[in-house]
Amino acid sequence: MRNFALFLLVALVLRAPWLGDPLFHADEQFYLLMGDRLWHGVIPYVDLWDRKPLGLFLIYGAASAFPGNAVIAYQLMAMAAAAATAVVIARCARLLSGPRGAMFAGLAYLIYLMAFNCGMGQAPVFYDLPMMLAGWLVIGALARTATVPPRDTGLLRRGCLAMALVGMALQIKTSVVIEGCGFGLMLVWAGWREGWRWPRLAASAALWIALALLPTAIVFAAYAAQGQAQAFLVANVLSIVGRGQDLGEATFRLAKVLVALIPFYVALWIGWRRAALCPQGMLARRGVLLWLGMAVIGFLAPGTWYDHYVAPALMPLAILAAPALDGRCRVTGWLRRGLFVVGLGAGLGATTVQAHKFGTTSDLDDAAAAIRPHIDANHCLYVYEGDSALYRATQSCLPTRFAFPAHLSTRFEEHALGIDPAAEVARIMASRPGAVVIDESAHPYAPNLRTRAVVLQALASHYRRIATLTLGTRSFGLFASR
């Protein structure tokens, strides 16, 4: 409990300047919109569309239920989840290092989350906790098989609990299935080391797989019972493989991630040389290395290489760095200072730039005040380009189930939504939204030229420009229906 309080205090101090910022990240804006609309009977994927699993929206729905400021609620929930994850990282790192290194490993995770755009409530902050708990159970069971003869580890029970946690994480982010496969392989490896015969191994593996898939199967069955199996599959499976990308932009993002992780490379090299050669430590280290490899595959697989996708790899990286952070010599002292200076600099810098770009509460309030006179229950706001937080701030009805602006406005989603984006935008504009927000800059982000042409034609025919909305460093045109 003391460690949790320490990590929570660190997380709060580092993130305090941006606590309550409703524009902090575009993804978080939309998750909160979805969580809020759940309380109004909206069915995800059917009435309001995104490709994230249901569990993430339930977390944000819980934040929306708190009295007071829902933004502060989800951000505090995220800080608590990050602090709890750091506690488990420190516990798991004790298999490889002393308490000093384990504590620094937890701190490194907390700091580097901010460097990779997970300073507040991005999805990895929430699914890292069940995955870290699962990893701790699996690595601990594997390490116990190093004793001669192997101790009774309660492997079947541990495996069931670990894979149930993986199943929970799968309902927050589907990409954890890759790390879950790694945990399953380690559990089978541990069973083989304990002398389990093949029939027992096969039966246990089948049980573990079933537990990992159970939450997703339950959710799918609920959608299928309502005749919405196709909506679920398009959002959770087909849209993921159908999304496009800009290879040049993605490569630049990958390069930034690789550079930011340089201190960990040094820590891993020193930690490997300093690691104790006891069988228990070596076996646990191999398990964490396998985990790291699967997390790296999970980061690389989508091909988009967004910075926050690397957050799951920070857990095994921090654990493997713990032996190097544990030492008291001059080399390890410089390493610790370098790791935390780079992490703090990158984290605070990235978070400051992010907040400056997207704007503040007052920016959102001013934009909402300009919009409200032009919308009503029958004439919604339509944010073609801009921030989905405007829907919450104005309490507008939603003109489309694709309310996350980039889904209809960018070319990357052209073949990922299961519908024709141009036809959907034409339908929206034909419904005569009361107000429309659009990026009027010379170079909007990755524009879908088909949908943009539909919007511009409708604006020219039926709307008048009434204001410029300034959100951070970005400006958008506000058009009202004639």
Contacting residues for 442 by C-beta, under 8 A, at least 6 apart: none
Q: Cβ atoms within 10 A of the Cβ of 190, count?
A: 25
Summarised one tens digit per residue, pLDDT across range 8-29 is 999 999 999 999 999 999 999 9
**Mean pLDDT calculated for residue range 340-368:** 92
Residue the block writes with tokens 């029958």: 378
Answer whether residue 402 shows pLDDT above 60: yes
Cβ–Cβ under 8 Å, residues 113 and 69? no
- pLDDT for 147 equals 66
Rounded to the nearest 5 degrees, what angle is found at the Cα of 408, between the Cα atoms of 405 and 410?
90
DSSP 400-453: -S--SHHHHHBGGGTTTSSS-HHHHHHHHHHT--SEEEE--SSS-SSB-HHHHH
Q: Which of 317, 365, 275 is nearest to 128 (CA)?
A: 317
Record the tokens describing residue 259, joined without a space: 């550079």
Contacting residues for 130 by C-beta, under 8 A, at least 6 apart: 165, 166, 168, 169, 172
Summarised one tens digit per residue, pLDDT across range 80-100 is 999 999 999 999 999 988 899
Q: Is the dihedral of CA 60, 62, 68, 73 positive or negative?
A: negative
CB-based burial label for 82 (10 Å; 0-12, 13-18, 19+): buried
Share of the chain above pLDDT 90, in %: 77
Cβ–Cβ under 8 Å, residues 46 and 401? yes
**Mean pLDDT calculated for residue range 378-403:** 97
Alpha-carbon Rg for the chain, nearest whole angstrom, is 24
d(CA 275, CA 273): 6
**Mean pLDDT calculated for residue range 371-394:** 96
Record the tokens describing residue 377, joined without a space: 């229950």
Crossing angle (nearest 10°) for helices 54-65 and 123-144: 120
Q: pTM of the predicted model, to two decimals?
A: 0.93
Share of the chain above pLDDT 70, in %: 95
Q: Is 227 left (phi over 0), alpha (psi -120 to 50) or beta?
A: left
Q: How confident is the model at residue 338 (pLDDT cuts 50, 70, 90)?
A: confident
Say whether 481 sits in a helix, a strand or coil: strand
DSSP 4-64: HHHHHHHHHHHHGGGTT-TTS-HHHHHHHHHHHHHTTTPPBTTTB--SS-HHHHHHHHHHH
Summarised one tens digit per residue, pLDDT across range 260-316 is 999 899 888 887 766 654 445 788 889 999 999 999 999 998 888 888 999 999 999
Beta-strand runs (E) in 348-393: 381-383
Phi, psi of 410 (to 5 degrees): -110, 150
d(CA 387, CA 397): 15
Answer whether residue 221 shows pLDDT above 90: yes
Q: Which of 426, 440, 433 is nearest to 477 (CA)?
A: 440
Summarised one tens digit per residue, pLDDT across range 32-83 is 999 999 999 999 999 999 999 999 999 999 999 998 899 999 999 999 999 9
Q: Which of 187, 154, 141 is nearest to 280 (CA)?
A: 141
Distances (CA, A) of 83 to 8, 107, 351: 5, 9, 18
Rounded to the nearest 5 degrees, what angle is found at the Cα of 204, between the Cα atoms of 198 and 208?
140
Summarised one tens digit per residue, pLDDT across range 133-188 is 999 999 999 888 766 565 556 899 999 999 999 999 999 999 999 999 999 999 99
DSSP state of 261: T
- pLDDT for 359 equals 93
